[in-house]
Amino acid sequence: MEVDFKTDATFTIIKGRFKAPASSSFGLFIILMDNVTKNVDRYDIIASHFSTVYENSINMPWNEMEDLIAKMKWKGEFATNLTHDIQATFEDLFEPGTGRGIDIWHSIKKSQLNKASAIIEEYLMRPTGDKNIKIEVGVETINSGEMEEVKRARQSTAGQTGGVEGIQTAPVEQDNLNLGDSAVVLDVSLVLAPINGISLLELTEGEKILVKISEETSRGQYFIDLLDASRDHQVIPIPATVVKVTTEGKLFTLMVNIGPGVYGKSIQEDNLKVKKYDPARDTRKPKTDKMEQMNLQNQMAATAMETGMMNPQDAKVKKEPNLVLFLAIGGFALLVMIILIILFS
């Protein structure tokens, strides 16, 4: 494949996908390289253990691939640890001065895409654990004007929809909050209370509100089941602790903590009033509590056995030997009395 370098091209964009069947690892990546410095301007990667991510074509426009990766991350459709490990590998691969970024750039400039792919494959063998990993790449070249045009289009779309399209702040905000690499961020919706609720602007860190976990992803469905957050196949509200509320124009971004290492995120276009959590009205019985109750019962039973405590049947068995002993002693005493009477009569 011959790469057509524009005379005014500012960026070389590498779009790629990989599959590592030995470890069931699949992913998409996009790399933006500065044609002046020959260094990487930015990159993004998403990895999964489901092959569906690999089914996306690398022939789509670069901005659509960026949006696709951002949307999949937003929905939690990726393997957190694997994605993080590959991102760390990319940092080494494109480290200015010590990495192989310039080698990759020159290979693409000479239309040697196979050589560029081989370099990336060599680095991805370690995080994926597969020496037979296969990579496909495609290349676009654009100028700074085209880059700015895409940015303006994204900002316009985000302002109109208030949705996730074109918004790529989720990974950044997660890092800023120091949630940790293993943290899970779920898409949640807010439970509104227009009359008695509290507005987003009035929310403070530590307050508890009600949210609903989105069931659009398998990860969301898993946590809905784990937290007993459904009734009759309908998602029900669960308590969450406010971590942070940020505003950008008319957009409100709310981050909440649902449980240890589990967070929820919601973006709203208006300053809505949300419902506070009332423990007295929480009818859920979390599965963790059920497990603890079962463990407690088992522990009590084990303690009873160790200390000699008996259940009612054991008590009945214990009384029967005492009755036999009493009758035996009484019978013996009666026999002695009869013998004495005969001897002295």
Chain segment 296-326, per-residue pLDDT in tens: 444 444 434 433 434 444 444 444 445 556 6
Q: What pLDDT was estimated at residue 262?
A: 87
Q: Is the domain of 116 the same as that of 22?
A: yes
* Residue 298 counted as domain residue: no
**CA dihedral defined by 255, 88, 13, 153, rounded to 10 degrees?**
10
Chain segment 16-55, per-residue pLDDT in tens: 999 999 999 999 999 999 988 888 988 889 999 888 899 9
* Residue 203 counted as domain residue: yes
Q: Is the domain of 335 the same as that of 249?
A: no
What are the tokens at 92?
Answer: 């080494």
Q: Is the domain of 60 the same as that of 177?
A: no
Q: Is the domain of 154 the same as that of 179?
A: no
* Residue 219 counted as domain residue: yes
* Pairwise CA distance, residues 265 & 263, whole Å: 7
* Residue 251 counted as domain residue: yes
Query: Of the given ranges (1-10, 109-118, 150-159, 299-308), which has the lowest mean pLDDT?
Result: 299-308
Chain segment 158-190, per-residue pLDDT in tens: 445 444 333 333 343 444 566 665 678 898 999
- CB-neighbour burial class of residue 231 (10 A; exposed 0-12, middle 13-18, buried 19+): exposed
Q: Is the domain of 102 the same as that of 122?
A: yes
| 321 alpha carbon, distance to own chain's centre | 61
Q: Is the domain of 90 the same as that of 135?
A: yes
Q: 54 vs 76, which has greater pLDDT?
A: 54
Q: How many domains does the chain have?
A: 3
Q: What pLDDT was estimated at residue 144?
A: 84
* Residue 43 counted as domain residue: yes
- 316 to 150, 310, 312: CA distances (angstroms): 83, 9, 6
With a cut of 70, say whether residue 15 has pLDDT above it.
Answer: yes
Query: Of the given ranges (55-59, 67-71, 155-159, 255-259), which has the lowest mean pLDDT?
Result: 155-159
Query: Of the given ranges (37-41, 293-297, 340-344), which has the lowest mean pLDDT?
Result: 293-297
215, 247 Cβ separation under 8 angstroms: no
Q: Is the domain of 57 the same as that of 146?
A: yes
Last residue of a domain, one of 161, 189, 216: 161
Q: What pLDDT was estimated at residue 6?
A: 53
Q: Is the domain of 156 the same as that of 175?
A: no
- 285 to 62, 215, 282, 291, 292: CA distances (angstroms): 47, 20, 9, 11, 12
Q: Is the domain of 110 the same as that of 155?
A: yes
Please tell me the pTM assigned to this model.
0.49
With a cut of 70, say whether residue 295 has pLDDT above it.
Answer: no
With a cut of 70, say whether residue 231 has pLDDT above it.
Answer: yes
* Residue 241 counted as domain residue: yes
Q: Which amino acid is at 271?
A: N
Q: Is the domain of 23 the same as that of 133?
A: yes
Q: 218 vs 193, which has greater pLDDT?
A: 193
List the alpha helices (DSSP H) in the chain: 62-74, 80-93, 101-109, 113-128, 144-161, 170-176, 218-226, 287-307, 312-344
- 301 to 307, 318, 320, 327: CA distances (angstroms): 10, 18, 23, 34
Task: Determine how many CB atoms are found less than 10 A away from the CB of residue 145.
Answer: 9
* Residue 129 counted as domain residue: yes
Q: Is the domain of 156 the same as that of 176?
A: no
Confidence of residue 138 (pLDDT cuts 50, 70, 90): very high
Q: What pLDDT was estimated at residue 103?
A: 94
Structural domain including 110 reads: 11-161
Confidence of residue 115 (pLDDT cuts 50, 70, 90): very high
Q: How high is the mean pLDDT of the chain? A: 79
Q: Is the domain of 106 the same as that of 174?
A: no
- CB-neighbour burial class of residue 158 (10 A; exposed 0-12, middle 13-18, buried 19+): buried
* Residue 192 counted as domain residue: yes
Q: Which residues pair with 28 in a beta bridge?
A: 17, 46
